[in-house]
């Protein structure tokens, strides 16, 4: 028996708060959206009932317009900022007012394939479809096929260098006192800077003043990015929703989703930049490409069947970034000015990003490269434990420890 698997399961038990899993104790004491989707896929390997429960608890926070928020505040906690009093949303259960990458439908399809349990899958499919429609209505009102983020936290890659230029336009003034709790749990050198937090909260204040109404937020947003990682995940979620629609005989749903998928597929392909050997996001305020080299540029592998030449260029670039690293894959190109291998999304390797990339490499026929990345990720976790992320240079586990999605990723990677 793999002792690390036992340990991974113990972490999920320790982080269970009654049918939902917190990412880690104290630092993140609530239910996070994409974390829970990854965790559900981990549970699906050995406890499908609990996997369903994870997703069911998440959709308790779904809004009437379809959005599934990035945080659901099921129980109070004073170890995290910003809490419900800062978000000022009007949902029955307190939630944040923004969303996160839609991994939910990807997890749901895997879970359904493991169980065939239509009774439990169908209501979650309905929730996922409603959220899918929200993405296109609220975050692509002009019908481009690329969805936009109105807050860096929506990317899941909160303080990525990808946001530096766009975020610099956001004022640092806030109506809300910024009382950080994260740096009391984790070394401040691993966390976003205070100036970033001022801007993050300025955006929260702005959207709260819009009463979280999507059209008003769109008009007021000083941060508006058509983001390649989120859009690629949305397309993979769309493929999985389309498959579920057909399985359930929902042919109209299937046609609707297929049309959205096709539009998004073409839109992502148009963001390929051969001179950079990666895909790029677009800053919708300036109209400029976001050329900061981050992991987001490789995530379209997950949802596109790409030409061999494009796949070759992407893989060669990934290898160049990983050269000399103890742990692949760094989330920022090593050596550039904004690369910080220990600071949150400014360089470390993350098991869940590797998981997405491994699936993408397999999809595009690069099985050997996927296997190398899988082994690198497993080795990092076995050497350092279930840390939030890893310093790619030294291999050190950083950020929060006893981390749920790292435990889920480990189980999934070992099983695959």
Cβ neighbors of 151 (< 8 A, separation 6 or more) are: 98, 200, 203, 204, 207, 223
Return the half-sphere exposure (C-beta side, CA atoms, 13 A cut-off) of residue 174: 20
- Residues 162, 130: Cα–Cα separation, whole Å: 29
Largest alpha-carbon pair distance within the chain?
Answer: 55
**Per-residue pLDDT tens digits for 135-176:** 999 999 999 999 999 999 999 999 999 999 999 999 999 999
- The mean pLDDT of 356-374, rounded to a whole number, is 98
Given 35, 388, 391, 396, the catalytic residue: 388
- Torsion of Cα atoms, 389 then 302 then 223 then 211, to 10°: -90
The pLDDT > 70 percentage for the chain reads 100
pTM for the predicted model, two decimal places = 0.98
Catalytic option among 158, 242, 283, 384? 158
pLDDT in the model for residue 387: 97
Please give the structure tokens belonging to residue 328: 């692949």
164 is annotated as an active-site residue: no
211 noted as active-site residue? no
Give the tokens for residue 46: 């050995």
pLDDT digits (tens, 9 = 90+) for 388-415: 999 999 999 999 999 999 999 999 999 9
Asked if residue 322 has pLDDT above 90, the reply is yes
Angle (nearest 5°) at CA 204 between 130 and 73? 60
| Mean pLDDT estimate for the chain | 96
Domains and CATH numbers, the chain: 3-415 (1.50.10.10)
pLDDT value at position 187?
Answer: 85
| Range of lowest pLDDT (97-106, 132-141, 174-183, 247-256) | 174-183
Residue 103, Cβ density class (10 Å: 0-12 exposed, 13-18 middle, ≥19 buried): buried
Q: What pLDDT is stored for residue 90 in this prediction?
A: 85
Q: What is the pLDDT of residue 1?
A: 58
Q: What is the pLDDT of residue 4?
A: 96
Radius of gyration of the chain (CA): 20
Give the side-chain half-sphere CA count within 13 A for 380. 36
- Assess whether pLDDT exceeds 80 at residue 190: no
**At residue 336, does pLDDT exceed 70?**
yes
Q: Say what the pLDDT of residue 282 is.
A: 98
Measured CA to CA, the distance from residue 209 to residue 365 in angstroms comes to 48
Q: Return d(Cα 21, Cα 181) in angstroms, integer.
A: 20
Q: What are phi and psi of 189, to 5 degrees?
A: -70, -15
């Amino acid at each position: 028996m793999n002792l690390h698997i036992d340990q991974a399961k113990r972490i999920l038990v320790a982080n269970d708060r009654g049918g939902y899993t917190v990412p880690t104790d104290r630092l993140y004491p609530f239910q996070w959206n994409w974390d829970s989707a990854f965790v559900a896929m981990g549970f699906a390997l050995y406890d499908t009932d609990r996997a369903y429960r994870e997703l069911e608890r998440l959709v308790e926070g779904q809004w009437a317009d379809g959005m599934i928020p990035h945080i659901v505040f099921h129980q109070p906690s004073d170890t995290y900022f910003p809490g419900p009093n800062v978000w000022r949303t009007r949902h029955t259960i307190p939630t944040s007012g923004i969303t996160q990458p839609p991994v939910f439908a990807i997890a749901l399809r895997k879970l359904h394939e493991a169980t065939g349990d239509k009774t439990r899958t169908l209501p979650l499919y309905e929730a996922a479809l409603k959220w899918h429609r929200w993405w296109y209505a609220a975050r692509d009102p002009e019908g481009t096929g690329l969805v936009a983020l109105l807050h860096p936290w929506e990317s899941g890659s909160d303080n990525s260098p990808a946001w530096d230029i766009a975020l610099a336009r956001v004022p640092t003034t806030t109506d809300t006192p910024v009382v950080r709790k994260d740096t009391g749990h984790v070394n401040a050198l691993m966390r976003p800077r205070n100036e970033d937090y001022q801007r993050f909260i300025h955006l929260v204040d702005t959207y709260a003043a819009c009463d979280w109404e999507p059209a008003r937020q769109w008009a007021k947003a000083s941060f508006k990015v058509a983001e390649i990682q989120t859009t690629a995940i949305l397309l993979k979620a769309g493929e999985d929703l389309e498959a579920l629609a057909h399985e359930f005989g929902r042919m109209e749903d299937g046609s609707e989703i297929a049309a959205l998928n096709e539009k998004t597929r073409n839109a992502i392909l148009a963001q390929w930049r051969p001179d950079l050997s990666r895909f790029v996001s677009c800053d919708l305020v300036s109209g400029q490409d976001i050329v900061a080299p981050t992991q987001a540029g490789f995530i379209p592998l997950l949802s596109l069947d790409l030409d061999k030449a494009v796949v070759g260029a992407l893989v060669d670039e990934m290898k160049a970034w990983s050269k000399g690293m103890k742990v692949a894959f760094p989330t920022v190109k090593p050596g550039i000015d904004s690369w910080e291998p220990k600071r949150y999304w400014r360089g470390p390797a993350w098991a869940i990003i590797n998981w997405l990339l491994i699936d993408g490499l397999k999809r595009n026929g690069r099985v050997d490269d996927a296997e190398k990345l899988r082994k690198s990720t497993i080795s990092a976790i076995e050497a350092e434990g279930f840390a939030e992320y890893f310093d790619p240079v030294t291999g050190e586990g950083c950020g929060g420890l006893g981390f749920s999605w790292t435990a889920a990723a480990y189980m999934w990677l070992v099983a695959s």
